[in-house]
Structure 1
Amino acid sequence: MKLHTLVCFLGLATGFASAAENPADYPQQAPLTLQGEGPWYRLQVPMAVQLAAKHADLRDLRVFDKEGEALPYALNVVSAQASSTEHSATARLFPLYGAAADPGQQPGLRIQRSTVGTVVEVLPDTPPATGERRSGWLLDAGDADFPFERLALDWNSSAEGFQHFRIEASDDLQHWRPWGDGQLARLSFNGERMDVSDIPLPGQKARYLRLLWASGQEAVELKGARLQGRTDMAAATPLVWSEPLAGRRESDGSFRWDLPLALPLERVRFSLDPAQQHLMAPVALSGRADKGQGEQEGWYPLARGVLYDLPMEGRQVRQDELTLAGSPVRQLRLVTDERGTGLGSAAPSLSVAMRASELVFLARGSAPYSLALGKADAHSASLPLSVLIPGYDAQKPAPIGQASLASPLQGASAAAQAVGEGNWKRIGLWAVLLAGVALLGGMAYSLLRGGKTSA
């Protein structure tokens, strides 16, 4: 019985020794700055941390105290696709004529305002004044009650080319606020037809949109317009951007960029060369993710669009971003239409963005605390948020302080100096534990030997 107890205790002690975390196993570390009372603190994981991790799901992320003890934490890795509720609404279309393009002065439109809102009605058989061009369109979103993220237009054009217009929003047809610029394009490209008909919007609500073409230009004919957006927690989660990543130009003229691991990208931004005047480049972006064992999948399309930096109406207008669907991507390839100006001989730098992950940890032990990651064979130690914070209710969140990186990630050797004398205390505790394990092993061996001698 005595021997059995000793052997069991020896097994538990050995298992505890092997399961304990060691900060030295995590090659990338950074000290944390805390604000608020705690004891729980929240950190929006920066993109630099995401790119330095060994695993896209951040299973190798840990938080340590001064003594080198791992702290309990919960990690919310946002999946925008899994939790999104998509919305779509058809907008009513009204053509606008003349230079002013004021809906209140348009032939064929009657504006009624009352306590319940503003209503636009079409008057039958009311043609525009002779010689007036169609200078824009008024879109009535009706009762659509969601943030507008994209505008899909069904349009006619007698020739290929580009259509540029200004976007404004209003709730009463009197006060208008700018929503940026829109770009339509219809081109034949490498034996394929490229149709850019989706316009990104800022993710805000409005009752009316106004699309205004430049002075002297006639607006295209619109046959339909749909507003798209989503409402969910993921939509409210901000995007985190990387620093510009260097690329390379391939022998076939395409541009390539490599990420350290496959990430669910939602947006990319290109560093357009300001020295290149009147830049306009139709582009096709494709990507691929690791397939495993050194093999890779084939390229699949991610986005098409037009990148440009052009003077328009007395100001410089730039479009340097493309929107992606959030699928995991590790390599990116960009092909430009040779009929455009191109992007230059050297590959532009590329910044990538994804939904931010949120880390919540329970502060205990002594400060300073540090964030650590980079252990290749790490397993996730994340707890459910309801376990980390007993009685947690998303509708009534507990008071949680804010954490931020006090300095960029650094190698474990430099981070160890910041930990200081706390590590020596931890080493001493481990030495005592290992000495105890050795003593127990010796006692077990003596008992076993004594049992054989008596036999």
Structure 2
Amino acid sequence: MSIRRIAAFALAATSLLASAQEPRPDTFAWRATLDTAGHQGLMRVPLPAEALARLQSRDAGDLRVFDAQGQPVPFALATPPRPAAAPPQQTAAIRALPLHAAPAGSRAPKGTLQLRARQNGDRQSVWVQFGDAAAQQPPGTTPLPAALFDTRQLAADVGGFIVRAQLPPNVPVQFTLSKSADLAEWTPVPARGRIFRFDGEGAPANDRLELSAPLRLKDRYLRLDWSGQEGVRVESVVGLLASAAPARELPALVLPAPAPDGASAVEWPLGFATPVSMLELGTPRANTLVPVRVLGRGQPPEPWRPLAQAVVYRLGPAGQESTNPAIALPAVSAGTLRVEATHGVRLEGVPLTLRVLFQPVDVVFAAGTAGPYRLVAGSAGVRASALPLGMLAATTATAVEALPAARIASVDVAAAPATGGPGWLPRGVDGKTAGLWLVLLLGVALLGGVAWSLLRQSGREAG
């Protein structure tokens, strides 16, 4: 082979590799047309969960904005994945005041206060002792599965409670909350969650009750009631102060049914590299409780990494069922999630549902007259091209969160994901990229063969 032909071959291979680094809109798996409503200048568009679930790079590197002619448009990520928010501020511990049923017609003994409360649907007299909790209880009284808390001096709104209590092991205890200004009329306080502590090191546990809305307890009393479990003794509660600003809703995606792996495990192949912040793991089957651990890994050769321990449950009568809260994760990127039952429980016959939640990502881009613009996501092997946010933000006096928002007008999803490739390829390498590298390797091998042939020919001539 002549040197000229070899050079032509190498130039062609280099051109192919260079063209692969300049992706076109149709090489992305998810493509959306943006409606800018005629705005010019910087705009922002929240990235939907469907686009986040197509990304093949942890840092959203395979995301682009193109104009109507297919030319790339400068953009930046306004809200890249960030560490978890700081834990909420807490109040001082508020001591529990045990409640006791008062005999009919009796008067409250010295040092106690009589109040009215409903127990098992019946309104009855209840005694509470505000003084020394260790003092002897009045004779003839019966301890109730309830406790009173003097929260009249609590000025700040609370969004939940930490319940410090002695619990029976391996039993989720349901608490109901109510508030009152006069210890006579009580208003229910909607709360979510059950308190439990399973046996074993690293076993699932929960000591928090989440409120549906911020609660003001200034000049009010709080009461906790529980039923159905022996051995519960509440010692105190700690209020979790409500956030001043409501949390932004996280993009969420419901995954299809998992693949079973034996009687005690199921797996969800994710197919994306976007970090997952939370999991809403649940079951539609009534009166179900399964302690589980969640694991993840990138590719099948990699070992499973433990991510979280939790209890999946749906308990209570129809229409009044309580379910487990979402599971927080350390912004993990995994190719597959695995859920295993623990404590000898089986998953066989227990349907599980999974909803993944991502941290919000806003795409800030420069809009002009070259629309309509297209936002695309999901193409393996594409290099990141997002600009630093400060570079775009410095061009305007408007805060990023106040920029006009573009609307996603239509979405086009590739029939076969652009990220797909033969099963034997490593994660993040598609068939086209592998083919180009194969061409280069063949070129190197060809050059080596030609050099070896020339050396042998030179040796024969010298001999």
Which TM class, normalised by the smaller chain length? 0.5 to 0.7
Unmatched segments (≥5 aa) in structure 1? 1-13, 110-120, 415-455
1:201 aligned to 2:210? yes
Q: In 2, are the aligned partners of 1:239 and 1:355 still within 8 Å (CA)?
A: yes
TM-score (norm 2): 0.66
* Residue in structure 2 matched with residue 408 of structure 1 by the alignment: 411
Letter in 2 for 1:237: R
- Counterpart selection for 1:278 from 287, 301, 315: 287
Partner SS state of residue 52, structure 2 = helix
* Residue in structure 2 matched with residue 450 of structure 1 by the alignment: none
Q: In 2, are the aligned partners of 1:268 and 1:321 still within 8 Å (CA)?
A: no
TM-score (norm 1): 0.67
CA distance in 1, matches of 2:29, 2:193: 46
Q: 1:124 to 1:253 in 2, by over 3 A?
A: closer
Determine which structure has the larger strand proportion and give its number: 1
Unmatched segments (≥5 aa) in structure 2? 1-14, 102-116, 418-463
Q: In 1, are the aligned partners of 2:282 and 2:312 still within 8 Å (CA)?
A: no
CA distance in 2, matches of 1:33, 1:169: 49
Residue 51 (structure 1) shift:
1.0
CA offsets, 1:2-43, max 9 Å, x none? xxxxxxxxxxxx9xx978663244343121233584533222
- Counterpart selection for 1:108 from 119, 125, 129: 129
Q: 1:397 to 1:145 in 2, by over 3 A?
A: farther
- Counterpart selection for 1:335 from 325, 340, 343: 340
Residue 250 (structure 1) shift:
0.7
* Residue in structure 2 matched with residue 93 of structure 1 by the alignment: 95
- How many residue pairs match? The answer is 375
CA distance in 2, matches of 1:36, 1:400: 14
Q: In 2, are the aligned partners of 1:71 and 1:364 still within 8 Å (CA)?
A: no
Residue 67 (structure 1) shift:
1.8
Residue 92 (structure 1) shift:
0.8
Partner SS state of residue 387, structure 1 = helix
Q: In 2, are the aligned partners of 1:74 and 1:385 still within 8 Å (CA)?
A: yes
* Residue in structure 2 matched with residue 376 of structure 1 by the alignment: 380
Q: 1:134 to 1:225 in 2, by over 3 A?
A: same
* Residue in structure 2 matched with residue 244 of structure 1 by the alignment: 255
- Counterpart selection for 2:295 from 287, 295, 300: 287
* Residue in structure 1 matched with residue 58 of structure 2 by the alignment: 56
- Counterpart selection for 1:161 from 154, 159, 171: 171
Q: In 1, are the aligned partners of 2:297 and 2:337 still within 8 Å (CA)?
A: no
CA offsets, 1:43-88, max 9 Å, x none? 2211110111121211111111212222221213444426646534
Residue 347 (structure 1) shift:
4.8
* Residue in structure 2 matched with residue 115 of structure 1 by the alignment: none
**Identity, % of aligned positions:** 19
* Residue in structure 2 matched with residue 31 of structure 1 by the alignment: 33
CA distance in 1, matches of 2:170, 2:412: 50
Determine which structure has the larger helix proportion and give its number: 1
Q: In 1, are the aligned partners of 2:312 and 2:323 still within 8 Å (CA)?
A: yes
Residue 156 (structure 1) shift:
1.2
CA offsets, 1:380-413, max 9 Å, x none? 222233321335568x557522223223342299
CA distance in 1, matches of 2:380, 2:152: 51
Partner SS state of residue 390, structure 2 = helix
Q: CA RMSD in A?
A: 4.3
- Counterpart selection for 1:305 from 298, 308, 311: 311
CA distance in 1, matches of 2:394, 2:277: 34
Residue 379 (structure 1) shift:
2.4
Letter in 1 for 2:247: A
Residue 344 (structure 1) shift:
5.0
* Residue in structure 2 matched with residue 442 of structure 1 by the alignment: none
Letter in 2 for 1:297: P
Letter in 1 for 2:234: L
Partner SS state of residue 375, structure 2 = strand
CA distance in 2, matches of 1:324, 1:236: 15
Residue 247 (structure 1) shift:
0.7
CA distance in 1, matches of 2:51, 2:59: 12
Q: In 1, are the aligned partners of 2:28 and 2:378 still within 8 Å (CA)?
A: yes
